[in-house]
Amino acid sequence: MKIFPTGCVVFTSSPAGAMPCPFSVIYGSSKAFITEFATSLAGEVRLQGIDVLVAHPSPVDTNFYHAPSASKSASVTFFRKTASPPTVICDYMFRTVGRYTCVVEQGYFAFMQKFIFKVLDPSFFASLLMVFSWTTAEYKTLTQDRKKK
């Protein structure tokens, strides 16, 4: 039976939801929730003709990067330099609507992450982050901030 979409719900998540995010715990876990919610919802509403899409864009040039805390993070600074304009992400999502593709990855980071997890087991990757997170600029900034308080 062929179902033609009569509606669409689009969620914006992140590749961060599929990997450990030390020092961005709330961000990564909220993105994991959004992806799980959208993929589960897609199965419930497909027969009503509703297309559910969750996008995992690579960095997007938004006001996220202009927050005072963003300049403290070395990883956020790196991603800001490689961010795509919002129009690129919107165009990509609209081209995907109606194809019953639930999760779409856009840009270099999402594809690199998928490749890395084909080579490295995500549990092993998490262990590496756990062992080496203290060497990151984020860790150093966090410990300095805690000492000031």
pTM over cut 0.85: no
**Angstrom distance (rounded) from CA 21 to CA 28:** 6
Judge whether 104 and 10 are in contact, CB under 8 Å.
no
pLDDT at 37: 96
pLDDT at 1: 54
pLDDT at site 38: 95
**10-residue block means of pLDDT along the chain (149 residues)?**
73 89 88 95 89 88 76 74 86 80 82 85 86 83 81
Taking CA atoms, 27 is separated from 37, 45, 99, in Å, by 15, 27, 28
What's the confidence (pLDDT) of residue 71?
A: 63
DSSP string, the chain: ------EEEEEE--GGGGS--TT-HHHHHHHHHHHHHHHHHHHHHGGGTEEEEEEEES-B-SGGGGSGGGGG-HHHHHHHHTPBPHHHHHHHHHHHTTS---EEEESHHHHHHHHHHHHS-HHHHHHHHHHHGGGSHHHHHHHHHHHH-
125 by Cβ neighbours in 10 Å (0-12 / 13-18 / 19+) ranks as: middle
